[in-house]
Amino acid sequence: MTPSRRAPDNARRNESTRQAILNAALELVSEVGYAKLSVEGIAARAGAGKQTIYRWWPSKGAVLFDALLALSGGQEGETGELPDTGDLEADLRAVLRATADELNDPRYSEPMRALTVEVLVDPDLAADYQQRLEEPVREMKRRRLRSAQDVGQLSPGVDLDVAVDMIWGPVRSRWLHRDGPLTEEYVDVVVRTALQGLRAPDIPEEALGDQGAGRVDSRGGDGG
């Protein structure tokens, strides 16, 4: 895109100030929570002027978004791939356990929850989020499921977006709404159930390995 007449000139941007602002945003959101996060506070903590923030970001949500992206090291377009060992269930289990670990770490989880909530509320931010994070990630998930269809581990008639919803939806939901703890057992059961259905007879215990019983205590104290 040709830089428009009014758009700030990215080349002149002070990178160290940008870093200071993103760090300040992350620190403050951890310390005081998103509701009490303020542009003034970020600027003060970063030793920056407020105008410098307003020059480059449209809202505090956008600052936090960039801060989290930088934290995940995730470079813009770079999506990567989900693991594909040929065993869909095992791969999904690994992926979701890793996700659960991240979501159980408050340093990452609390800012992430704040951002997620802000995205629900700010349509401009939502568009950005959708384009730069949500859609690439969802496509990555679809690719892994398509590959599973190719090798007959997933019904060929299944809509891949529905499949993504069935597998990742419950975990995201439980995390976001704090419906219960995100344990390894929980994600394992979700993966297995999504793939086999609730109606299916229980898998014999011996087939489960050390993942424990098919029935887990999935509800309990939140701890938070």
Partner DNA sequence: GGTTAATCGAGACGGTACGTCTTGTCTTTGA
Partner DNA sequence: TCAAAGACAAGACGTACCGTCTCGATTAACC
Question: Quick one: 55 or 107, whose CB is closer to DNA?
Answer: 55
Q: Give least dist CB 88 to a second copy, A.
A: 9
Task: Please identify, among the stretches 9-17, 18-26, 42-50, 183-191, the one whose residues bind a second copy according to the rule CB under 8 A.
Answer: 183-191
Decide if 184 contacts 171 (C-beta within 8 A): no
Helix or strand holding residue 36 (H, E) = none
The residue to which tokens 């340093």 are assigned: 107
Contacts with DNA, residue ranges (CB under 7 A):
8-9, 11-14, 17-18, 20, 36, 38-41, 46-52, 54-56, 59-60
Alpha-carbon distance of 111 to 34, in angstroms, equals 8
Decide if 142 contacts 165 (C-beta within 8 A): no
Alpha-carbon distance of 97 to 154, in angstroms, equals 21
Token code pair at residue 39: 């542009």
Decide if 108 contacts 102 (C-beta within 8 A): yes
Establish if 155 lies at the interface with a second copy (CB under 8 A). Answer: yes
Q: Give least dist CB 72 to DNA, A.
A: 23
Which of 99, 117, 136, 137 touches a second copy by CB under 8 A? 117
User: Which residues contact a second copy by CB under 8 A?
Assistant: 34-35, 106, 113-114, 117, 119-122, 126, 153-159, 161-163, 165-167, 169-170, 172-174, 176-181, 183-186, 188-190, 192-203, 211-224
